[in-house]
Structure 1
Amino acid sequence: MTEVRYNWTKEEIAEIYHTPLLDLIYQAASVHRENKDYAEVQISSLISVKTGGCPEDCAYCPQAARYNTGVNVHAILPKEEVIAAAEKAKAGGASRLCMGAAWREVRDNRDFDKVLEMVTAVNGLGMEVCCTLGMLTEGQAQRLADAGLYAYNHNLDTSEDDYKRIITTRTYDDRLQTLDHVRKAKISVCSGGIIGLGETVADRISMLKTLSTMPKHPESVPINALVPVAGTPLADQPRVSVWDMVRMIATARIVMPKTVVRLSAGRTEMSTIEQALCFMAGANSIFAGEKLLTTPNPSFDTDMAMFELLGLTPRKAFKNGRPNRVEVNEEVSL
């Protein structure tokens, strides 16, 4: 059985990343089969509960208020609308619902109270609930945990050295501190990054080192391909190669063997064959549904057809147990 390590060096990760491609895929697939049901893929659905108007300057993001991207600002959605979206996602095969809000950080106000109510309601449907709301204090993380939050997403985006080129309105340490608060609240950590930002391979390796040398590996690591959006500083970035995506997924799978590696943004630009290579390399989670916050994404029907073709099966909710005790209105397979 593959050893789970927390002391990876950049040199070791670089050696893995630069392994001849077919050998790398084989190694990653072997690790995947040792540690996971390789044919089982978690399906998550991502909805924006509060859209646009964010004060941050993330160079890739269409929701930043300072960029003219055509994204309209919307106030927080009614709880009933979120529950309806969750029920639709569950019917489509999703076991996790992720709710995103275009905030720099969570504030203790009525909007946060509404999010807490949404978390409890969606958890009551028997779905894992994930939120991505920006920076959190320890107390806010605990309130989310008490409401039944299963996971919290807070991506590192890129390496620490490259970070200031992409975002200047918060620091890398701010990111890591929020992840620490999430971990202390016993909420599952979801944290990964984006490739195609103009970063170097060394930046990608550095980001994987940060993730794989945490005291506990993130339970979920999304690997996103940049979706360039007109009006953002990265609008003219070329599409990232599928081979780069495969290398990132395979390397993440090898250095974090028990982590769910999520094939995230950019799938609309990938063929079924290209996505199949990512699954072979160790990806075992996707976002399904027609949008990822504000960017396009394949539909549930398209993904179900791909699953049938490739012999993949959707993972059930709470497979690793339910960390927070809340009432649900149906039995959930553990």
Structure 2
Amino acid sequence: MTATTRPRAVGLLCLVIALWGANWPIMKVGLVDMPPLTFAAVRLLLATLTLFVISPRRLKLPAARDLPVVLSVGLLQLFAFMLCMYLALMVVPAGRSAILAYTTPIWVVPMATLWLGERMTPLKALALAIGLAGIGVLFNPAALDWTSRAVLIGNGLLLAAAAAWAITIVHVRGRRWQATPYQLLPWQMLLATLASGWVAFAFEGDATTHWTPRLIVILLYNGILASAFCSWAFNEVARSLPATTTSLGSLGVPVIGLLASAAWLGEPLAPSTVLGLVLILSAVALLVRQEIGARS
């Protein structure tokens, strides 16, 4: 399969950043009408149906060698990440949620050192320290209500979501694939759909959903655009642009998420939130720089 042209890839990257970033306040609004576990299940179902419709020529059953990758991406990166994220969004501001969910690269550093034997360089250690400092700023008593159990659990779930994604990255990095990401994505999404559907039925089977035109539009946005289209587009971008461009570009998602939440939901831009965001993004930028140096 031929990679797309550079100008088209840049355009796709900008579109993905905008769609993912804007989705944080959109998800927050959608959870007013639908319970979180059900929301995750419907989003994944719509994404799965979309991928199976648009990918008939690339579809084939995963080989035995690829089943561990299907399981880790489907159950951790998609299922666990989304469940933690939606449960957290019930009590955590959307902008703050976007920042904490994108701490994934920070958790990859110690995991890759322990499980893959990657060397902890001084630059990686500095990035890890800065990233943890950013998380510390977000969790300081002036920025977080430590007396609220729900708030603490919500913020903890976002870190758990980031860690689940990090585990997937480390696992996938340490394995050899037989199929392409395009061929495996529909099956990974299907597995996540089945798991989230079971959990939603078990825990929210009798919960009430307020079906409104607004909710339907939000679900279509999440399932078709934010999940199916953006997953395809980000893979296309990763194949066509340097890893540095893709990695640094993705840092725009929490920035847009924070600004969009402030503009649309009136969430305050607290100094501690902005400082935490700057520190975390600086840490990720250092990690990208480390990757550049390692490959040059």
User: Does the TM-score normalized on the shorter chain lie above 0.5?
Assistant: no
**Higher normalized contact order (CA 8 Å, seq sep 6+, divided by chain length):** 2
* Normalised TM-score (structure 1): 0.27
Higher strand content, 1 or 2: 1
User: TM-score, structure 2 length as denominator?
Assistant: 0.30
User: Which structure shows the higher helix fraction?
Assistant: 2
